[in-house]
Structure 1
């Protein structure tokens, strides 16, 4: 593509405009850690003829997306923690069966079958834990999120109730 010529009659899709402006803003900032004040964001929006109301809605959407991303990260860490616990349980149980087989028969015979079946279960567990897309993941996330929100609500109510009792 040729050099940028502001006089040319090019047209861009909304997605292209967003990407171009995002790159321009990123290059304009000398430091990637630079933060913009809300007033500066308002000024940029005004220059782009974006109403303050649209900016507030966009900011609200952005905050909502950030919150959901944090919740998904917490959910993924929760799932990984549960997996590590189950993996430890598998290891302990299989070690017990292997030792029982070694002591009882002088070698590994029947414990090998248990080891193979539990290995299959571990493989499926790994697959389900690392799967972060799809309908099953979404259902599990929504279920966890509802439980998490209910716990937060109960904790908030109880904290307010206990504070009321202390006064």
Structure 2
């Protein structure tokens, strides 16, 4: 489509309409803190001839996707914390060994072999931590998510139990 076509000839795919409306809404809101009320969302949907049922289903889908993204962010932060801890342990142990080698032998010799030998798992750990796509990542995320949900459930049950005991 060119910019010179009359309005009556223009037509857009559903994906194009979604993208155009996203750009328009983004430009409409002058600052990022602008929020829309649920009533405004209903009015926008009504103007676009979207039924309230479809809007509710879309909102549920969005909430599920938003929750999934929050879980993935928490998982990635968890993996990063674990990696930083392992990396600092690696640096402390190898720094100590290099210091012992330097003081004991007047130079650094045998500690370099340990540094290189231990560097391989650290490199693989780096790769696994920052690799956020693929089957291994999905399996690790699913396992973490299951464990996280179990911990939350147990915590909720224990909190209710303790509250019941206190009253």
Equivalences for residues 12-161 of structure 1 within 5 A: 12-161=12-161
Normalising by structure 2, we get a TM-score of: 0.91
* CA deviation profile, 1:12-36 (whole Å, cap 9, x unmatched): 2211111111112222334443211
How many pairs does the alignment contain?
A: 166
Superposition deviation, residue 3 in structure 1: 4.2
Superposition deviation, residue 128 in structure 1: 1.0
103-112 or 61-70, larger mean C-alpha shift = 103-112
Aligned to 1:6: 7
* CA deviation profile, 1:16-68 (whole Å, cap 9, x unmatched): 11111111222233444321111111111111111101100111111111111
1: CA distance between counterparts of 2:128 and 2:98?
27
SS of 2:36's equivalent in the other structure is: coil
2: CA distance between counterparts of 1:34 and 1:4?
34
Tell me the C-alpha RMSD between the 2 structures.
Answer: 1.6
Superposition deviation, residue 165 in structure 1: 0.9
